[in-house]
Structure 1
Amino acid sequence: MLWIYYAMVKKNLVIMITINTFSLVIQIFYISFYLFYSSMKQKTLTIKLVVLVDVLAFALVFFPTHFLLDGKKRVQFLGYICMIFSLCVFIAPLAMIRRVVKTKTSEFMSFSLSFFLTLSAVTWFVYGVLLKDLNIALPNVLGFIFGWVQMVVYWVYKKPGTKPPGNVQEIDAEHVVDVVRDGDTIIIDENIKGDIEQMMESI
């Protein structure tokens, strides 16, 4: 929304308005699907974040710039704000790097996300250079660097054929016995079934 507002204030940036409007619609659908399938706790947290960032934070930027600033000062102030939020978009996936390094696997990391963020950074950088707009070009330099860092980390810790920790391994159905206790299902190997039955009889 900030980039749409920035493009409207600076004018003659129809392409930027069009692309960011399309992105806004996609993000609305994405958040809607997330809310539909998430738990009540996650829904509450997400709604709070949306209200805090997308409504209140945008209002704190919009009203001062619209009513207190004008001309170049308005564009300059908006440019700084947009740069900060753009950097947050590129930096956010870096939080996953710590988990990747700690677990020694990149299974939790999305390579496609890092790749397209990098590609997006390059594209917007070129667009900003052509327009001679540093507010658009500068944050995408760091976006390009961060994107490459994420992709390098992914390939360094990529382990073909591995599964993320916590996945249940496949077990031959012939050697599995389901034991239901208080509504919970416990999977027991048939090899120890006899020992368990003897224990239960002794009790």
Structure 2
Amino acid sequence: MEASLLFVGVVGNVISVLVFASPINTFRRIVRNRSTEDFEPSPYVITLLNSSLWVYYGITKPGGLLIVTVNGVGVGVVMEAVYVALFLLYAAPPLKAKTAVLVAALDVGFFGAVALVTRLAVHGSSRVVVIGLVCAFLNVLMYGSPLCAMRSVITRRSVEYMPFLLSFFLFLNGGIWTLCNT
């Protein structure tokens, strides 16, 4: 049983890396055109928050090394931070302001609040449980975040701005981690 769980965990980490790498072509296009066009920043801002919280969870949880490596400086946080920085660099002023507010509220404010509350008010093994519950809630947001592009898809009658690879790998990621935790 342990070997199969390890195998599923490694497959989950590989799929997680694919989640983080899936927007590379989108960001190549953004850099090439020097514009974010009609792409939405929400999936990348939320994924950055999610990765940051999973790193915090992995650091807090004994034996959380695999969680830290895939979400941390190895892949998740770094790639998502680059995506968000590119969004801030190439977005039109109104979208740049929206993105900055999202980053300040979620990636700085919400993350800081969770870290502060769990460090000061939650003690012992309950801390890991509380951080894990917050991460689980954010997974739901992260998996649904590509749907922010649905307005564009519907009004333009085109899937050009729908992040298909991100949606696909998030679907696989949710499935493999659900399998791993059942």
TM-score, normalising length: structure 1 = 0.56
Report the secondary structure of 2:143's partner residue: helix
Does structure 1 residue 125 correspond to structure 2 residue 178? Answer: yes
Aligned residues: 129
Does structure 1 residue 37 correspond to structure 2 residue 90? Answer: yes
The answer to whether the 8 A contact 2:146-2:163 is kept is: no
Does structure 1 residue 12 correspond to structure 2 residue 59? Answer: no
> In 2, distance between residues paired with 1:31 and 1:43?
10
The amino acid of 2:98's aligned partner reads: L
| Percent of matched pairs sharing the same residue | 30
4+ residue segments displaced more than 6 Å: none
By how many angstroms is 1:118 displaced?
A: 1.2
> In 1, distance between residues paired with 2:154 and 2:100?
31
Structure 1 residues 11 and 113, CA gap change in structure 2 (3 angstroms): same
**2:21 counterpart residue number:** none
Q: As a proportion of its length, which structure holds more strand?
A: 1
Please point out which of 50, 60, 63 is paired with 2:113.
60
> In 1, distance between residues paired with 2:84 and 2:153?
25
The amino acid of 1:2's aligned partner reads: L
Report the secondary structure of 2:141's partner residue: helix
Structure 1 residues 55 and 105, CA gap change in structure 2 (3 angstroms): closer
TM-score, normalising length: structure 2 = 0.62
> In 2, distance between residues paired with 1:9 and 1:68?
15
By how many angstroms is 1:99 displaced?
A: 5.5
Q: As a proportion of its length, which structure holds more helix?
A: 2
By how many angstroms is 1:67 displaced?
A: 1.5
By how many angstroms is 1:101 displaced?
A: 5.6
Q: Which runs of 5+ in 1 are unaligned?
A: 130-203
* Alpha-carbon displacement from aligned partner over 1:14-38 (angstroms, at most 9, x marks no partner): 1110000121000111111112211
Does structure 1 residue 81 correspond to structure 2 residue 134? Answer: yes
> In 2, distance between residues paired with 1:34 and 1:109?
16
Question: Which has the higher Rg, Structure 1 or Structure 2?
Answer: 1
> In 2, distance between residues paired with 1:28 and 1:111?
20
The amino acid of 2:92's aligned partner reads: S
